[in-house]
Structure 1
Amino acid sequence: MRPRRLLARYAAGLTSAYLLTVAEVIAIVLALSGRRAATVPNIATAALLICIGTATVLVGAVLIVRPSLRWLRAGRQPTEAERQTTLKTLRRQSAITVAPWVLTAAVLIPLNLEAGTEVQVVIASAILFGAIATLATGFLFTLRTLRPILASVSPDATTPRLTAPGVRARLLLMWTVCTALPGLAIALLLFMQSRGWIIESTTPIELALLVLALVAVVLGLRAMILVSISISDPVGEVVDAMAEVERGKIDHAVDVYEWSEIGRLQRGFNSMVAGLRERDRLRDLFGRHVGEEVARRAIDADESFSGDERDVTVLFVDLVESTRLAATREPHEVAEVLNDFFRIVVEEVDAHHGLINKFQGDAALAVFGAPLRVEDPATAGLATARALRDKLRCLPVDFGIGVSAGPVFAGNIGAENRYEYTVVGDAVNEAARLADLAKDYESRVLCSAAALERADDAEQSHWATQHSEVLLRGRASATQLWMPKGHDVDD
């Protein structure tokens, strides 16, 4: 809503609330006291007071909202001073709507001191009713208009004492004003007539009782609408926002313009959505580290990341002479080559439900069988190695791929507040050594007998051996070498 339109609607709403209540008060006074109160001085004075009251409410409404419209019109956040001023809007509105009735009471009651107790009681009761009704009606007519302003300065930790009546207090207040007070007035009229106090026993009061009953009905309806809107609107917005979140739109938030427990509900919803966004962000980061499919299945299966011993297949892929590449090409060209390399590796490992455990400069370590248990990790790892061999040949760099299998520790390694998920075991070292050795073979891919023995028959048919064993650096026992068919094993 535009600031100028907001100001006009707010001023019109507050002023019309006052004028509507004035008409109701006049009807009450005339019905209860008739000509005794409708004297020329009273009529003239009341007309003047109504004009002054209307001007007071109109000007006061403008003065209340105009400071807030400055930063709202500028499209900026309010300063702390502006925020504190805006937080007092409802309090100042209450004062503005009650002020004309205080002035009316200060003038009309002394003016009617000689008119008799009955007229004074009627005027005082009508003014009290007018003050309460204007207060309630003013809130009813301006509640929605003020929401954009109140939502921009909603209370937080810096304003812990700023509160508004809660649902229970509002219902009790509505009952008091709309049921208890008119009912008490009716009871007092009947009691005073029966006793002859103030009102003669022969004085007809049927019209007065009817007016009070109508006042209770009209004011009760107005207050009920006010209370219901003040509760149903924010709750309905939260319900609608929850439906949006349920459909996956977690960027949705509700305006916080209530300062009661309903406002705490609004803030609680926004905090919940913020938590969901943070959780999804962490899940996204987790997925980028371990692969989207692996992350999703780990969460769905509630897999433990604390650590245990597993039989896995390890694939290690390393680029050849990446240092020379950096020396002969521009940095952005090197970055493009590395990005293409890692993209191909990630795509193939993800396609076979493996885990990119870590990137090491120009190398990558992939694990099949941890953290998620897969049905045939060796087959998946060997199939990935063959696919990488074909796709990495398009890069302007050479590479070596090693595949091994065996028991490893898979879990969190590090300090209590900083750790990473990794695998530790002889199979990891063997895969790294095989990748380094594979750079000397035309196939550029080598696997150990331990890995091939664990694969299914279909995958084993793609591999051949040179029937010799090699003692890899750092290992105590020799490793039998296998490579994809179609390459010279004695290269």
Structure 2
Amino acid sequence: MTDITGRLRPRSGAVSRVMLWSVRARWGLATMVIAAHLSGLAVIATQLILIGFPGRLGDDLARGLITVSIYPVVAFLIGIGLAIRDRDAYFAWFDRSGKPTPEEARRLLHLPAGVTMRSLVMWAPGVVLSASLLARFTPENDFTVLLAMFTIGGLESAGLTYLIVDRLIRPVVPIVAGVLGATMHWSSSVFARVVLAWAVSGAMPLSALIVVLADPATSEDHRIRTGIYLAAISLAVGVLATAALARAVATPLRMLRIAVDRITRGDLDVRVPVGSASEIGRLEHSVNEMSANLRERLRMRDVFGRHVGEEVAERALAGGVDLTGDVREVSALFVDVTGSVAISTGLPPQEFVAKLNRLLATVVAATEDNDGLVNKFEGDAALCIFGAPIALADNATPALRAARRIRDEVLAAGELDIGIGVARGRVFAGDVGTDTRREFTVIGDAVNAAARLTTRAKEVPRRVLVSQSVIDAAADEERARWVKYGSVALRGISEPEPSWTDIEPEAPV
């Protein structure tokens, strides 16, 4: 399921509502812990009844039960008080309707292990004391058997306590993850859950069966009855524990699969709720980080592409940190505004910039539509490259088409006058700068020649001058649109450069 923000969320159920109530209610944690302890006592009492232990006490039955009940009652009351204290100590922030502090969040992750260890500590003296007291009332003096049964009951209670408390805090784990970030606690790992689920559903019932079978005082009928009972309990608890464990693993994995599928399809607004402090929780957090990093990379590529062009942005993002480049044959197109100083002096800055932006929008559209790259803006001028960084089989023809289109659209707008120069030659195309700051640029005689031709083109009626090398490399259809203008002297070049300009189309009859 997803909400309107694209956040994946699990289906809510009765168990989730009970666990959330246990966190909110003052007596909720105590109720769950008490239920786990009562289950341990029930396991012990049921086993004693099944093996016929009450009959061994004879006339001392009532006195023995009263004696052995003293410690469990005292421990029961102490446990209630400690559980209520735990609720106030671990979930006080929940009552404030706010987020926990980092220290409170870290403490909460220790709650399942802490409550379980305390249960073991409280059960330990009760197991030894109860076994010793009950053994004194039986002629067989069954201390070893009773100790084993009470120990199994205590371990069963501790295992259930852990599983219940670990499940109880799961609704607030997303809040904790929001405070601590990627976090994991060893006691909530999938390994710990699997081992405890196996112990509660398999190891403990089988251990109890071994104790019963090894007790010489238990009759054959009692052994058979107890064996059937323990096998049935093991099967029932095993199904429940396995189903709960499988659901606890399969549900978040299903959500992760859906999230990854959506990310693969390009939907980067997915966010998975972090539902545990286990390896799965770390994986959920990692998927969220991956989605956020991809969104940031896409945003950076978009912003970067607006500054340097999509091709250069892709090249930079895909490459390493080394400065790279190569020498290749390109066509360079240079555009410059005529009389920009006079225009900017007579206009408010905002109005001049608006005119300039409209010109540059035309330059970008014409260049990119012809597979070129606007390499850089230089004030009121622009340098466009055809053939780098993406090589073109024919880079002269698209450069000439772009030059004609830019000139026609700018002059048709009537806002600015320009000059355009196009030259072709071998240049270095690549990164210049340092490891911390670099720029993709093109360096070579073709760039210089294009800039010089632009200055002379401002005096040409058609406002475009191109070098002989560009015409020689262009396709026949495009070459037919151009006529030789003459040789022009360019600053910094000793020999006059043969130049061409385009033919003015005939006016319609």
Question: Normalised by the shorter chain, which TM-score bucket?
Answer: 0.7 to 0.9
Which residue of the other structure, out of 246, 261, 264, is the alignment partner of 1:246? 264
Q: Is the 8 A contact 2:376 2:384 kept in 1?
A: yes
Whether 1:69 aligns to 2:132 is no
Question: Which AA in structure 2 matches 1:370?
Answer: A
SS in 1 for 2:215: helix
Question: Which AA in structure 2 matches 1:27?
Answer: T
Report the counterpart of residue 216 of structure 1 in structure 2: 234
Decide which moves more: 85-94 or 154-163.
154-163
* Deviation readout 1:75-94 (Å, 9 max, x if unpaired): x5x43332333232323342
Report the counterpart of residue 380 of structure 2 in structure 1: 362
Q: Is the 8 A contact 2:419 2:454 kept in 1?
A: yes
After TM superposition, list the pairs within 5 Å mapping 1:329-478 onto structure 2.
329-393=347-411, 394=413, 396-466=415-485, 468-478=486-496
* CA distance 1:213–1:40, shift in 2 (3 Å): farther
Q: Is the 8 A contact 2:372 2:385 kept in 1?
A: yes
Q: Is the 8 A contact 2:173 2:277 kept in 1?
A: no
After TM superposition, list the pairs within 5 Å mapping 1:253-264 onto structure 2.
253-264=271-282
Distance 1:200 1:166 in 2: 40
Q: After TM superposition, give the deviation of residue 371 of structure 1 in Å.
A: 0.8
Q: Is the 8 A contact 2:462 2:502 kept in 1?
A: yes
Under a length normalisation based on structure 2, what TM-score does the superposition of the two structures give? 0.78
Distance 1:362 1:148 in 2: 60
Report the counterpart of residue 88 of structure 1 in structure 2: 110
Report the counterpart of residue 317 of structure 1 in structure 2: 335
Q: Is the 8 A contact 1:291 1:350 kept in 2?
A: no
Structure 1's unaligned 5+ residue stretches are 194-198
Q: Is the 8 A contact 1:18 1:54 kept in 2?
A: no
Q: Is the 8 A contact 2:182 2:282 kept in 1?
A: no
Report the counterpart of residue 205 of structure 1 in structure 2: 223
Report the counterpart of residue 251 of structure 2 in structure 1: 233
Distance 2:500 2:339 in 1: 24
Q: Is the 8 A contact 2:425 2:445 kept in 1?
A: yes
Q: Percent identity?
A: 30
* CA distance 1:215–1:465, shift in 2 (3 Å): same
Q: Which has the higher contact order (CA 8 A, sep 6+)?
A: 2
Question: Which AA in structure 2 matches 1:82?
Answer: E
* CA distance 1:463–1:424, shift in 2 (3 Å): same
* Deviation readout 1:363-409 (Å, 9 max, x if unpaired): 11110011111232111111111111122232633222211112212
Structure 2's unaligned 5+ residue stretches are 1-15
Q: Is the 8 A contact 1:344 1:388 kept in 2?
A: yes
Under a length normalisation based on structure 1, what TM-score does the superposition of the two structures give? 0.81
Distance 1:92 1:298 in 2: 51
Matched pairs, number: 478
Decide which moves more: 411-420 or 353-362.
411-420
Q: After TM superposition, give the deviation of residue 96 of structure 1 in Å.
A: 6.2
Distance 2:182 2:422 in 1: 62
* CA distance 1:6–1:350, shift in 2 (3 Å): farther
Distance 1:176 1:90 in 2: 16
Report the counterpart of residue 7 of structure 1 in structure 2: 23
* Deviation readout 1:250-275 (Å, 9 max, x if unpaired): 34343445444444434444444444
* Deviation readout 1:20-61 (Å, 9 max, x if unpaired): 555444433332324557637737948956963784476256
Q: Is the 8 A contact 1:463 1:483 kept in 2?
A: yes
Q: Is the 8 A contact 1:316 1:435 kept in 2?
A: yes
SS in 2 for 1:469: strand
Q: Is the 8 A contact 2:182 2:285 kept in 1?
A: no
